[in-house]
Structure formats: structure tokens, C-alpha cells
Amino acid sequence: MIEDRADRALFSATGAALIASFVLIALAPEDKTLGVVQKIFYMHVPSAWTASLAFLVNFVGSLIYLIKRDLRWDRAASSSAEIGVLFGAVAIATGSIWARFAWGVWWTWDVRLTATLIMCLTYIGYLLVRSLAEGEKRRVFSGVIGVAAFANVPLVFLTIRWWRSVHPVVVTRGGISLDPMMKLAFFASLGAMTLFYICLLRVRVKAEELEERIRASRGGQGA
């Protein structure tokens, strides 16, 4: 899979970034109240961010595919959706663990957490369509869902935020005042995770390409 120079550079950079961010996370001071558990924050927020990025890429890919019918965009869209759901699940899981240690509850109806959950469910629907349909139908149907799903995002955030403001909830996330080392660790983690996403996307798209070639040579309609 690691074919050309660009890929090699990408993977090396990602590896380096990941290592660097682990180091920085380890070195970052522990939060006074939460202790070492607070460090899960370095995984939680970047995962949520990366998931959103992945869903944005899916939206763009779906839209361009519907307009141009260029298979590369469809591959990018579907791969990105898979990775997005993965990162989203990580975000939800880490958010849940953090909530448990920080506030004693497994779930807070925090805006971002709830919205991420809804988005994950939406894109699981997208992936369901992809597994149930074949050929051009599959690409068009999932493309339509991809566009509708992302268009929904602003209203989801808005309604959840307003919904929450009516329900004073046990916990508020609040801004975490980060000291410089924490900030550094955070941004390093964010950068590393974004690079990681790009790597995963690259790998997944290539795998999808190979799968299509295999299907085409077998004469299957799934190509």
C-alpha cells in the first residue's frame, strides 16, 4: 500500500506526529481535580473534530460525485464516512469515560456529544445503504444520503443547543483553562489525529479501488 514517495512521506509524518503527541500528552501536567483521567480529553476532542472533518469530506465527495459521476469522489466519500463513524465512536466512548470519572455519570447531554451521537447514527444509515445496494444505485443513493446528512448538521446543533438550554443539565463542560504545555499537547494531538485520518482515508480509498477492480474482473455488478 505504501507505494510512492508522497504516501511514504505522509505515513512517516503521521507516525512522527503520533509519537510526538503521545510524548507531549505524557509530559503535560495533570489536571488538579481530575488527575490523569483528564488526559482522555486529548483523545476526545480531536476525535470529535476529526469525525466532523470526515463527514465534511463525505459531503463534498457525495455532492461532487452526484454532479460529475467520477468514481474517485464516491470512493473518497464512502471511505470517509466509515472513518468518520469510527472516530465518532471513539469520541463518544472517550467522552463517556471522561464524564464517568469527572462527574460520576456515564452520559452527559452535552451538545457536542449528543450531536456527535446523532451524526454517527446518521452515517451508520449511510453505511447501511452502501451495504444493501449495488452498483450505480449504491453510489447514487448513498450520495443523496450523504448530502442530506450533512445539511442536517447545523439544525441538529442548533436544536440540541436550544433543547439543552431548557434543561439545566448536571454537568457543564465549560472551558478548560489550559496551561501552555496542555495547549501544546492538545494541538499536537489534534494535528496527529488529522494526519492519521488522512492516512486512513488514503489506505481505505486504495483498498476500495482494488476491491472494485477485483469485482470488475469477476464480472460482478457491484463495481
Partner 1 sequence: MKLSVRDLGKSFGRKVVLRGVDLELEKGQAVCITGPNGAGKSTLIKILSTLLRPDRGEIRMDGENPFENPRIFRRRMGVVLHEPMLYPQLTARENLEYVCRIYGVDGKKAEEWLERVGLSEFAEERVEHLSEGMKQRLAIGRAMIHSPELLLLDEPFASLDARGVEMVIGLITEQVSRGGAAVITSHMSGLLEGVVSRTFQLQDGRLV
Partner 2 sequence: MMRPIWGIVARDVRLSLFRSESLALSLTFGVLVVLVFALAGDPTKLGEEAKSGVIWCGFAFSTVVTLTGSFRRERESGGMELMRLAGLSAEAIYIGKLISGFISSSASNLVIGAAGGVMLGLKADLGGLLRLCLIAALGTLGICVTGTLVAAISSELRGGEGLLVALLMPLLFPVVIASAKSFGLILLGEGLSLKWLGVEIAYAAMFLIISLLLFEEVIE
User: Given the rule CB under 8 A, which residues bind partner 1?
Assistant: 218-221
- Say if CB 134 and CB 222 are below 8 A apart: yes
Please identify which residue in 24, 81, 92, 147 interacts with partner 2, judged by CB under 8 A. 147
- What is the C-alpha separation between 92 and 114, in angstroms, rounded? 9
Q: Which stretch binds partner 2 (CB under 8 A): 18-26, 40-48, 131-139, 185-193?
A: 131-139
User: Is the sign of the CA dihedral 147, 85, 212, 141 positive or negative?
Assistant: negative
Residue type (1 letter), 26? A
- For the chain, the maximum distance between any two Cα atoms, rounded to a whole number of angstroms, is 62
The contact pattern for partner 2, residues 96-125, with x = CB under 8 A and - = no contact, is ----------------------xx-xx-xx
Instruction: List the grid coordinates of 36.
Output: 490523569
Can you tell me whether residue 72 is helix, strand or coil? helix
107 binds, among partner 2, partner 1, none (CB under 5 to 8 A by kind): none
CB atoms inside a 10 Å sphere around CB 60: 17
Q: Smallest distance, Å, CB 148 to partner 2? A: 6
With CB under 5 to 8 Å by kind, the binding choice for 220 among partner 1, partner 2, none is partner 1
C-alpha cell of 45?
476532542
Residue 35 or 135 with smaller CB distance to partner 2: 135
Q: Which residues here bind partner 2, judged by CB under 8 A?
A: 66, 118-119, 121-122, 124-125, 128-129, 132-133, 137, 140-141, 143-145, 147-149, 151-152, 155-156, 158-160, 162-163, 166
